[in-house]
Amino acid sequence: MVCWNDANGTEQIKNLLINKFDWMRSGTVQGLSPPTLGAFSDKFVLLWYKSIGMIRPTEDGWDVVNANESNFVHVEGIEGYEGRIRSRQFCSGGGDGFITYPGQSWREYLASAINNVLHNDPRMDGAFLDVTLSKILSGERWWRFIEGEVQTVGDFGVITVEGEIHVDEGIYTCEAKGIDIVKVINVSGVELEVESHDQSSIVLVSGQANSGDSVYVDYYAVVDIPQQLKDSWNADMTETLKYIKRETPNHILVFNEILEGDSHPEDDQFPYIIDGCMMEHFVHTAWYGPDKFFDENSWKQQVDNLQEVSQTRIFSAYSGTDMSLTTEEQMKRIEQFCFASYLLGTGEYGYYSFNPNYSDLSTRYYFDYWATDVGEPLENYHLRASINGANIYEREFENVLVLVNPSEVSAAVDLGLNYKLLDGTVVQVINLDSHQGIILYKI
């Protein structure tokens, strides 16, 4: 029987995390930080969260970092504060996440900040390092704030600007939305009311200004990270990770997020420089609904990454689904697919979690069958058979057989022997739908 636990109260979550989870990072649950949990239990590993690719003015250490422009990434040809590039993701009330450059000054600050936390809080076992590479190479969602650009009002109150104005495109659930993107001020210092804007122009409410009037325009302009910095990012981040690891001995360092496959080899060495990695989108992401999955090739690359890295380093496979699009039954089915895929590839240092509420960090889920005694693996995962266009993968353990169908079509699999399902039903033939995984108990 599939049993699961939905914890959404402070005491419930505290007890769930203490009794069921092996490691977590600060910020895992809103209102219930790991330092608080650490006062109750030493059963699990605690990692301090630190973004090493971005910093906000509200963060500790901002004054130190802000004083040195070499800590920041700038638009090509524009130095200083005005040229700093910010992230359109993870914005809290505005585009305030400044992209940091992983050079010597920034890595020295990071090592010092991490060491200070670990020294002052001995319950912390290490650090979780976010925004290392993937957002730089695959995000392409950057902007800079332009203030006081002098423009002239055209006919019908239309103002054309020099840059490309950010518009809400809904590419990421965590992307800034509803921010006051544009502001227009006349020469008398009065802010004018904006009716609308697109990527290149702003339309004022009728009667706000006359054609030919000069105005000052503030807006968030879409920009890109200079190509030379993208080209050097891998080498620079490699040196940053090496430096932090060297300066924080005897502590665990895990980074987010490894990019799967041959198309993104840039971070393949990162888990081996430090102590491991997290894949935030393993098999099914928390921003996908029930009808969207990775294709089979990408699925296999992710499982292969897990298999390779988890032999010697931590690999945290983090899966989920968007519950605003997903029913409870669909969620459970997706989770079984994710967990079975994890069992196919996991090694000695593999870890798994499933969060069906990406935007709600105050809820945590646990499924009882995660504790299934599968026994030792008897083989690496492999293709069992191709059945009517469906590729079925398997891995045998001492106590169970794990099957996964990552294909787009279903297949009836003849097991050859009797097995028991989670609910105790005995089967010899099992139908695996598209994107379905299953754990079969040996009899």
Pick from 81-90, 148-157, 280-289 the range whose average pLDDT is largest. 148-157
Structural domains of the chain, with CATH: 4-76+98-139+227-371 (3.20.20.70), 142-223 (2.40.30), 382-442 (2.60.40.1180)
Q: From 83, 225, 72, 198, select the one nearest 147 (Cα to Cα).
A: 83
- The contacts of residue 33 (CB under 8 Å, 6+ apart) are 26, 27
Do 65 and 55 meet the contact criterion of CB atoms below 8 Å apart?
yes
Pick from 131-145, 261-275, 281-295, 405-419 the range whose average pLDDT is largest. 405-419
For residue 222, is pLDDT > 80? yes
Do 129 and 117 meet the contact criterion of CB atoms below 8 Å apart?
no
How do residues 33-58 score in pLDDT, each as one tens digit? 444 555 555 667 778 888 888 898 88
For residue 369, is pLDDT > 90? no
C-beta contacts of 259-266 below 8 A and 24+ residues apart: 259/133, 259/134, 259/137, 259/138, 260/298, 260/301, 260/302, 260/304, 260/305, 261/297, 261/298, 261/301, 261/302, 261/305, 262/301, 264/134, 264/137, 264/138, 266/133, 266/137, 266/233, 266/234
At 83 the three-state DSSP class reads: helix
Share of the chain above pLDDT 70, in %: 79
More confident residue, 31 or 357: 357
Predicted model pTM: 0.85
Share of the chain above pLDDT 90, in %: 53
Which residue carries 């646990």 as its tokens? 366
Q: Half-sphere exposure of residue 28, counting CA atoms within 13 Å on the CB side?
A: 31
Q: In whole angstroms, give the CA distance from residue 424 to residue 267.
A: 43
Which residue carries 């993208």 as its tokens? 230
More confident residue, 57 or 71: 71
> How many angstroms separate the most distant Cα atoms in the chain?
84
Do 437 and 402 meet the contact criterion of CB atoms below 8 Å apart?
yes
How do residues 227-281 score in pLDDT, each as one tens digit? 888 888 888 989 999 999 999 988 999 988 776 655 566 677 888 999 999 898 8
Do 85 and 75 meet the contact criterion of CB atoms below 8 Å apart?
yes
Specify the pLDDT at position 113.
Answer: 95
Q: In whole angstroms, give the CA distance from residue 183 to residue 230.
A: 31
Q: In whole angstroms, give the CA distance from residue 197 to residue 298.
A: 38
DSSP-derived pairing of the beta strands 252-256 and 276-279? parallel
DSSP-derived pairing of the beta strands 214-223 and 142-152? antiparallel
More confident residue, 1 or 322: 322
Tokens of 395: 């891995």
Confidence of residue 14 (pLDDT cuts 50, 70, 90): low
